[in-house]
Amino acid sequence: MDSKLNRRMFIGTAGAAVAASVATKVLGEDAPAPAGKGIRIVGVSCSPRKGKTTAAGLQICLDAAKQVSPSVEIELIELAGLNINGNVAAGVPLPAGQEDDFLKIMPKLADPKVAGIIVGSPVYFGSVSSLCKAFLDRLMAFRKDNFALSNKVAGALAVGGARNGGQELTVQMIHAALLCQEVIVVGDGKPTARLGATLWNKDDDISGDEFGVTTAKNLGRRVAEVALRVAK
Ligand SMILES: Cc1cc2nc3c(=O)[nH]c(=O)nc-3n(C[C@H](O)[C@H](O)[C@H](O)COP(=O)(O)O)c2cc1C
């Protein structure tokens, strides 16, 4: 990967990476999803800590999504350890010698098979992690590419160290950014049916948070159900 991406190079690279998605959007008059080939739901963990509670919460979502239909594939993407620089979205070049790991993520999201995206963040002082904000800002590349994520179904998950630590605020931050991509935002499905998945981390474990785990399952199921309808 070129470590000296300037603005022009970035836009060029980004455009090439998502070109396929523009041609084969999951929903659209131009190129509907190929019938009978199934869909993929992707979870994006925006915790800087790999394999911790945000990733665990997303895995619960994805497992629930998979249970909706045999035609649902799932994939968990962890941003932990990746260099995702939000400033690039504003045209600021990466510092010399740095790799732009967002370019590795782009093709995964742009894949026409991806019909649903669930973004998960730890709650950091009532908001998203800086990694999550950088990721959401970098989605600018899709917006600039004729809204290449348009009509994918999206949901949000937040894990906090306190029961009421700002999970819903965090979910709403994610929603606001995703709405700018013309995605179809959904919450956790019934019977909880609120903003999304809101989990409580106790000692790096979410399994004891029965309500939060239920919201994660309902979010995964809801994203898959709507994505399957949209892809019809
Ligand atoms: C900088 C920072 C700020 C945090 N702020 C909050 C907060 O406002 N509310 C809360 O409930 N938890 C807060 N936490 C705790 C994390 O949200 C919690 O540990 C979360 O589960 C971490 O996700 P992870 O296990 O995926 O890394 C904070 C943690 C850090 C490091």
Contact criterion met (CB below 8 Å) for 57 and 198: no
When mean pLDDT is compared across 35-44, 56-65, 158-167, 210-219, the lowest value belongs to: 35-44
Residue 26 above 80 pLDDT? no
How much is the pLDDT for 169?
98
Pocket test for ligand 1, best of 58, 198, 201 (most atoms within 8 A of CB): 201
pLDDT in tens, 58-113: 999 999 999 999 999 999 999 999 999 999 999 999 999 999 999 999 999 999 99
Site to substitute for ligand 1 among 125, 164, 203, most atoms within 8 A of C-beta: 125
Q: Give the three-state DSSP class for 199.
A: strand
For the record, the structure tokens of 116 come out as 């649903």
**pLDDT reported for residue 36:** 57
Q: Which atom of ligand 1 is nearest to the CA of 162?
A: 11
Q: How far is CA 187 from CA 114, 168, 210, 213, 219, in A?
A: 18, 11, 18, 14, 6
DSSP structure class, residue 124: B
Considering only residues 104 and 19, tell me which one the structure prediction assigns the higher pLDDT. Answer: 104
Contact 92, 100 (CB under 8 A): no
Decide: 114 and 108 in contact? Cβ < 8 Å: yes
Report the pLDDT value the prediction gives residue 37, as an integer from 0 to 100.
72
Atom of ligand 1 at shortest range from CA of 159? 21
Tokens of 167: 């999970």
Give all domains of the chain, ordered by start, each with its CATH number. Answer: 7-25+39-231 (3.40.50.360)
Q: For residue 230, what are its two tokens?
A: 């949209």
Position 211 scores a pLDDT of 98
Residues in contact with ligand 1 (CB, 6 Å cut-off): 47, 49, 52-54, 122-126, 159-162, 165-166, 201, 204
